[in-house]
Amino acid sequence: MVSVIIPTFNRSAFLMEALASVLGQTKRDMEVIVVDDGSTDDTSRVVEAFGQEVKYCRQIHAGVSAARNKGIRAASGEWLAFLDSDDIWLPRKLESQLDFLFRHPEIKICQTEEIWIRNGRRMNPRKYHAKPKGYCFEVLLERCLVSPSAVMIHRSLFDEVGLFDEALPACEDYDLWVRIGYRYPIGLVEMPLIVKRGGHSDQLSSSVPALDRYRIEVLARLVRNEDLNGSQQALVLDVLKRKCRIYAEGCRKRGKAQEVERVSALLRALALEVGAGREGVSGFGA
């Protein structure tokens, strides 16, 4: 019923704990797929230690999106769940989500609450990190509020909206959530059922600079490529203009005049494409 996809790259110590947390689930109607994104450590031996319970796929290093997509293509389950190899699940994670989805058959994607651990210490999320539920496209535009390790997705959604974008070096999950979020409501199991561990140097959020650059790219493509209605398009343009303004101000302070002009030109082009003309970018300060 559920395919669990774990992408990993040189995280064998974390991976052992992640796999143990999956195989310790109270609901065991699942297949477990580890996609090794070209690791050079002992990842393969860690997976071998779990025997036939885990399917192992290996690829040349191509990034987390390519690894997740390889897992999606290899999966046979009706529902797909993801686990980043540095996170762990609490024992009733799958059982609770499947029970929620049984009671809400209209829902095709849901997530759980989570516990945050950073450098070994528990952290409390800010109010603006509150996980949304229902039709929540507007708040999804602001920041990434869906966690890959907490989510369960019906495989038909990928046929409709596409897979993770392998061209994005970061914000690839944000990109997928907004593509889903303008179409569908998102369910929420209001219990913390994953432990999200942060603070290590190889996390994308800490190793990729200027994440808003990629969020801006995602929003621009959303306007250009997706079938948004008028109100959705207006929401995206409003958030996009605001993010561009903040990002450009940071670039100005760092003397990155070319990047300021690139973002300014992007906004002007989008405004013209949607029929807003120069008025749509008048507050940008270009």
| pLDDT confidence band for 126 (50 / 70 / 90) | confident
Work out the mean pLDDT of the chain and round it to a whole number: 91
Model confidence at 75: pLDDT above 70: yes
| pLDDT confidence band for 285 (50 / 70 / 90) | very low
Q: What gap in Å lies between CA 63 and CA 38, rounded to an integer?
A: 9
Decide: residue 60, CB within 10 A, 0-12 exposed, 13-18 middle, 19+ buried: exposed
| pLDDT confidence band for 201 (50 / 70 / 90) | low
Model confidence at 26: pLDDT above 60: yes
pLDDT, tens only, 224-267: 999 999 999 999 999 999 999 999 999 999 999 999 999 989 98
pLDDT, tens only, 108-125: 999 999 999 998 899 888
Residue 200 has a pLDDT of: 60
Task: Give me the percent of the chain exceeding a pLDDT of 70.
Answer: 92
Cα 91 to chain center, whole Å? 22
| Number of alpha carbons in the 13 Å side-chain half-sphere of residue 272 | 6
For the residues 124-151, what does the mean pLDDT come to?
Answer: 94
Q: What gap in Å lies between CA 168 and CA 103, rounded to an integer?
A: 35
For the residues 51-66, what does the mean pLDDT come to?
Answer: 96
Sign of CA dihedral 22, 126, 209, 146: positive
Domains of the chain in start order, with CATH, are 2-203 (3.90.550.10), 211-281 (no CATH)
Residue located via tokens 């450590």: 41
> CB count, 10 Å around CB of 269?
13
For the residues 171-182, what does the mean pLDDT come to?
Answer: 97
| pLDDT confidence band for 286 (50 / 70 / 90) | very low
Q: Concatenated DSSP letters for 39-105?
A: --SSHHHHHHTTGGGEEEEE-SS--HHHHHHHHHHH---SEEEE--TT-EE-TTHHHHHHHHHHH-T
Residue 267 has a pLDDT of: 87
Q: Specify which residues 189 forms β-bridges with.
A: 112
Q: What tokens appear for 194 in the block?
A: 């994953």
Residue 2 has a pLDDT of: 97
